[in-house]
Structure 1
């Protein structure tokens, strides 16, 4: 694969103190399953202090810091889709 066609890296940074690894794993699975051809990798990054952030090639997609509650998988899929495959439909996730 050439550099021009490099697929993006998605990171989910989660708080180990809050025990959010299962949530990060579930979100990673949902995103990788939905975008298996568009994403190059999905990484879980341990953090602390209540962090739960999703980044695409280092740029923020969603952060719990700016949103008091967790987002759902459908919304996160829409946010990622809008950046990596804006013309793609998400089927039932968009209803």
Structure 2
């Protein structure tokens, strides 16, 4: 089972994005997760971690919910 963190920038108004990503991940992998949590941040951050491993960082890639779900899959399926 895996733990997912979605760290998002509060001042930037990224809460809606974080909730959208959280919902998409839950729909796909809820039965394979121990926990999914939202972590409040600042300075434009939007990072998704699985078991402390960064699988998505807005600084490196554009936000694409389907792509994030695809990146999470190898970390949670089959564990």
TM-score relative to the length of structure 2? 0.91
**Corresponding residue SS for 2:70:** helix
Question: In angstroms, what is the RMSD of aligned CA positions?
Answer: 1.1
Q: How many residues align?
A: 78
The answer for the alignment partner of 2:68 in structure 1 is 76
Equivalent residue, structure 2, for 1:64: 58
State the secondary structure of the residue aligned to 2:30. Answer: coil
In 2, Cα distance between equivalents of 1:59 and 1:73:
18
Q: Alpha-carbon deviation of 1:76? A: 1.0
Select the structure of larger CA radius of gyration.
Answer: 1
Q: What is the distance in 2 between the residues matched to 1:60 and 1:83?
A: 11
Gaps of 5+ in 2: none
Gaps of 5+ in 1: 1-6, 87-95
By relative contact order (CA 8 Å, sep 6+), the higher-ranking structure is 2
